[in-house]
Amino acid sequence: MKDTPPRVRDPRHAVRFLYVLMAVTGFVDGVCDVHETDEPLWWTIFAAAALNYATFVWYCRDTDVRGMHRTRPWNVFVILLAPLAVPIYLLRRAPPHGRGRALLRMAGFLVLFFLADTLGMLTGMLLA
C-alpha cells in the first residue's frame, strides 16, 4: 500500500470565488436599485455567510500551502473579523523585508474586489 501525500488545494481558487461572489452580490444590488427595493434578507445573510466562509477557506488553504500551523483563536479571528485578521495574517506570514509587498498585494486584491462588485452592479442595472 502506497502512502500518498495529502492533497493541498490552491488558495487562489478561493480568491477567484470571492471575486465571483462579489460580482453576483453587485448584480443583485444593481437589480434591486433599479427596482427601488431592498435586497431580500435571506440574500444578505447568504452572501455574508459565503463571504466569511470563502475567506476562511482561503486562510486554511494558504496556511496549508505554507506549512503553517493554525490555532483555534486565529481560526475564530479570521471568521469573525476577517477585515482585520487577514492583513495581520499577511504581515505575520511575510518575511520582514516583504511586508510592504504583502500589503500592496492586499490593496490590489481590494481594488479588484470592489471592481468586481461595481461591474456586477452596473451589469445588474443594465439588465434589469
Q: What is the pLDDT of residues 35-62, one digit of tens each?
A: 999 999 999 999 999 999 999 999 999 9
Domain of 108?
Answer: 12-127
Of all residues in the chain, the percent with pLDDT exceeding 90 is 88
Mean pLDDT of the 10-35 span? 95
Q: Report which of 55, 50, 117 is spatially closest to residue 84, judged by C-alpha positions.
A: 55
Residue 3: inside a domain, yes or no? no
pLDDT at 8 over 90: no
Taking only the tens place, the pLDDT of each residue in 90-119 is 999 999 899 999 999 999 999 999 999 999
How many domains, in total, are found in the chain?
Answer: 1
Residue 39: inside a domain, yes or no? yes
Local structure of residue 38 (DSSP, 8 states): P
Span between the terminal Cα atoms of the chain, in Å: 58
Q: What is the pTM of this model?
A: 0.86
Residue 120: inside a domain, yes or no? yes
Predicted pLDDT of residue 34: 95
Provide the pLDDT confidence category of residue 1 given band limits of 50, 70 and 90: low
Chain centroid, CA 102 distance in Å = 16
